Amino acid sequence: MANEKMLAQVREKQGFFAALDQSGGSTPGALKLYGIPETAYSNDSEMFKLIHEMRVRIITAPAFTGEKVIGAILFEATMDGQAQGKQVPAFLWEERGVVPFLKVDKGLETEADGVQLMKPIPGLDTLLERATKLGIFGTKMRSVINLNSATGIAAIVKQQFELGAQINSHGLMPILEPEVSIKSPDKSGAEATLLAELTKGLDALPESQSVMLKLTIPDVADLYRPLTEHPRVARVVALSGGYSRTDACERLSLNHGMIASFSRALINELKAPMSDSEFDETLAKAIDEIYQASVKKA
- Per-state percent for the chain, helix, strand, coil, to nearest 5: 45, 20, 35
CB-neighbour burial class of residue 171 (10 A; exposed 0-12, middle 13-18, buried 19+): exposed
| pLDDT given for residue 143 in this prediction | 98
Q: With 70 as the cut, is the pLDDT of residue 142 above it? A: yes
* Mean pLDDT of the 151-158 span: 98
- Residues 105-131 have a mean pLDDT of 97
Domain spans, the chain: 2-295
Does the pLDDT at position 32 exceed 60?
yes
- Determine the pLDDT at residue 29: 87
Residue 109 has what DSSP assignment? P
Torsion, Cα 291 293 294 298, to 10 degrees, reads 150
Global pTM reads 0.96
Reply yes or no on whether 13 is catalytic.
no
Query: At residue 2, does pLDDT exceed 80?
Result: no
Q: What is the mean pLDDT of residues 142-171?
A: 98
pLDDT at 55 over 70: yes
Find, among 224, 218, 237, 217, the residue nearest to 295 by Cα: 237
pLDDT value for 27: 84
Report how far residue 133's alpha carbon sits from residue 144's, in angstroms, rounded to the nearest whole number. 30
Cα separation, 135 vs 11, whole angstroms: 18
Residue from 76, 177, 197, 289 carrying the catalytic annotation: 177
In the three-class reduction of DSSP (H, G, I as helix; E, B as strand; rest coil), residue 110 is classed as coil
Active site residue 32: no
**Per-residue pLDDT at 23:** 66
pLDDT range class, residue 40, cuts 50, 70, 90 = very high
Q: What average pLDDT does the chain have? A: 96
* pLDDT band at residue 30 using 50, 70 and 90 as cut-offs: confident
**In this structure, which topology does domain 2-295 adopt according to CATH?**
TIM Barrel (3.20.20)
The answer, yes or no, to whether residue 24 has pLDDT greater than 80, is: no
Full 3-state SS string of 125-185: HHHHHHHHHCCCCEEEEEEEECCCCHHHHHHHHHHHHHHHHHHHCCCCEEEEEEEECCCCC
**For residue 178, is pLDDT > 80?**
yes
* DSSP count for the chain of H helices, then E strands: 12, 11
Quickly state the pLDDT bin for 119 (edges 50, 70, 90).
very high
**pLDDT for residue 22:** 72
Catalytic residue among 13, 140, 187, 214: 214
Is residue 177 very low, low, confident or very high in pLDDT (cuts 50, 70, 90)?
very high
- Answer yes or no: is pLDDT of 292 > 70: yes
